[in-house]
Amino acid sequence: MKFAIDVLGIFLKVVIRVNRDTFAPLVVSTLFILLTSLLAHCARRLVQKAVREPFIRLLFEEAIAAAELCGCCFELIIVADNFGVATYAIFLFALTIWWSLNWGEATACPYTHIEDVIEGKGDIRKALLKTWAELAGGLLVYKYIQMYWALEISDTHKNKAFEDCTADLQVPVLYGAIVEGVATCLCRLASRSLSDLNPRFATAIDSFIGTSLVVAGVLYRNTVLTYHYEDSSANADLSVSVFCKIRVGKAFDYSGGYFNPVLATSLKAGCEGHTLAEHAMVYWLGACAGSVISVYLYKLPAIQKYVSATAEFNGDSIWADKED
């Protein structure tokens, strides 16, 4: 713990001494994300050494993982808003790989515990305790974020610490829940397939799929399709052109595209634009329903046949048990 505090102190001294006007905002965000990951890594190692009881240790690890996830994603919002989708995607992809390699059994995601209960790998009591630990970590980390943003080291953090937040839900609650549910279902199906197929670069592939689902909403949120109609019939007094602009709505336009109840709660619970009940229905019920559906969909003979056929495919491949 003392080491983590010393690291935080050194970080603050370095960035505060640098001229605020000339210090690149992207470097500030990058350093803060690295600091957050480093502190979480140190806390994780401390827990692994100090806590002997496996389940209690896992609860602490879930809280740390959730805090790391939400802390980094708070800053990723700054990155996306100020430096574009491509930069955001690179950061998110790298972070998901880092999390996959360092979290161990922790997931920082409640619906994975529900899946374990359905499949007989866990019980409801443990699932609830893990969810509670994740919520605690995700909510408590905001004070850490607020303290950092209040320093306003970069212009991109100006007035961020205490500004009012607004909800990302742009559609009726039911539609938002469906969007979160469908996207979560697709993500979980992909993760299950990769787990069974065990390709050589499974972590990178899974990270790429997860990142793509999130980033897809950003890339296409402003895409406009134009339909042109012209009435040039002989009886027409004049030509009439009608332009119908159709915004291609993706997950970001609909619900924010969080696909993780703890992450959505940490970032958007209590924000103006929806009630807590609406928030729970979209980001908790919707995502968890999608996860549960993925469990049963994955057991369908057609999907199992496809996975088995892929695993037995011969030729050059990226599968772990094959030689290229």
pLDDT above 90: residue 241: no
Task: With H, G, I as helix, E, B as strand and everything else as coil, classify residue 66.
Answer: helix
Name the token pair of 177.
Answer: 């829940």
Return the pLDDT at 142.
92
pLDDT above 80: residue 19: no
Cβ-based neighbour number of residue 49 at 10 Å: 9
110-122 tens-digit pLDDT = 999 999 999 998 8
pLDDT bracket for residue 226 (50, 70, 90): very low
SS (H, E, C) 286-320: HHHHHHHHHHHHHCCHHHHHHHHHHHCCCCCCCEC
pLDDT above 50: residue 221: no
Contact 108, 69 (CB under 8 A): yes
193-220 tens-digit pLDDT = 877 776 555 555 555 555 555 655 544 4
25-69 tens-digit pLDDT = 888 899 999 999 999 999 999 999 999 999 999 999 999 999 999
What is the domain partition of the chain in residue ranges? 1-163, 165-317
88-111 tens-digit pLDDT = 888 988 898 898 888 888 989 999
Name the token pair of 211.
Answer: 């990142």
Name the token pair of 132.
Answer: 């509670």
Burial 89-104, CB ≥16 within 10 A → b, else e: bebbbebbbbbeeebe
Distance CA 161, CA 184 (A): 30
Average pLDDT, the chain: 76
